[in-house]
Amino acid sequence: MPRLLAVCFAAAIAALPLLSAKATAQASALRAQPRQFARGVVTTIPPVLVPEETVSQHEMMEITSDDGLAWTPKLSPITSTLYDQAKSVRFGREIWGLEFSFKPLRIIDVTLRQPNGQTERKVIWYLVYRVKNNGERLRPVESEEGDFTVEPAEPKRVEFSPHFVLEGQDVDAAGKKVYKAYLDRMIPHVIETIRLRELPGRPLFTTAQMSRTPLEVSTEAEDKSLWGVAVWEDIDPEIDFFSIYVSGLTNAYTWTDPPGAYQKGDPAGKGRRFVGKRLQLNFWRPGDEYLQSETEIRFGVPEGRESLYGVDSGVAYRWLFR
């Protein structure tokens, strides 16, 4: 009997490495699986395509600034001349929009190596987001009478070039806005730390990588959405009210010719200003500058502070041309 127990004990000891290896493999497989988020963790903002944004009306300064082109025909109405028609020209364009989702704004402490070889402890703010191309597009259709209608356009892949700006909305004691703006930074070796914390099992793109990756159309059968992250460093710890402006989610834009910007003989389009459509996400934090904690960051606008963000009560986000 003792010999039988010894044999069983030896067999059990021999099997331990195999069981350990199997457990390790199972744990690795679980970590490699995409994390499923609980309800409410991810906020999703659908695209807003406005039919009026497919057509705009402008004066062609390149023509109307040259009085020598003005003339009065004898057999046709003056409205048929190029000069007169250039006073009001309608331009049509196809527009598209992407769905934007994001996780709560986070703050982490990391150690960064400086160019001189020294290391420095930094506080990093970051926003993990997802973009999805649902194929939503609108195009203008002009009738023979010159009127425009709008209809859905064929879904296509999109070249998404994101641009993130974190801008403070604080004011000083005199009520004047204290301008603080921070661009999304490229800190590659921080990305993996963020990915393991937020998206184990999924790829996480930097802004540059996202710009180089075409966003294919997603369907009910296949999700082609991509996950990315915007990163900021050296944020003023005293900032309390701020917004994140996201560009690249739509190709809708407006343009104007400021008075006097174009003169006869100037290159076409000189002085013309193009303004893209952006998504404004509003945040605030009730903490102080001595303890920056991600648990204190709130999505939305605190009651009574709407004027700082330029929004009405209860508006956590909005689309605007800026």
Residue numbers of the domain that contains 193 = 39-321
pLDDT for 32: 47
4 in any annotated domain: no
Position 200 pLDDT exceeds 50: yes
Mean pLDDT calculated for residue range 227-253: 96
11 in any annotated domain: no
Question: pLDDT category, 6, cuts 50, 70, 90?
Answer: low
60 in any annotated domain: yes
The count of structural domains within the chain is: 1
Amino acid found at 121: R
pLDDT for 30: 38
30 in any annotated domain: no
- Prediction pTM value: 0.85
CB 217 within 8 A of CB 133: yes
232 in any annotated domain: yes
pLDDT for 52: 94
d(CA 254, CA 320): 11
CB 63 within 8 A of CB 86: yes
CB 281 within 8 A of CB 102: yes
CB 100 within 8 A of CB 168: no
The torsion angles phi and psi of 304, rounded to 5 degrees, stand at 90, -5
pLDDT for 144: 79
205 in any annotated domain: yes
Strands 317-321 and 241-247: unpaired
Position 74 pLDDT exceeds 80: yes
24 in any annotated domain: no
Write the pLDDT tens digit of every residue in 138-175. Answer: 999 988 777 889 999 999 999 999 999 999 999 888 88
d(CA 247, CA 1): 77
197 in any annotated domain: yes
Question: pLDDT category, 100, cuts 50, 70, 90?
Answer: very high
> How many Cβ atoms sit within 10 Å of the Cβ of residue 71?
11
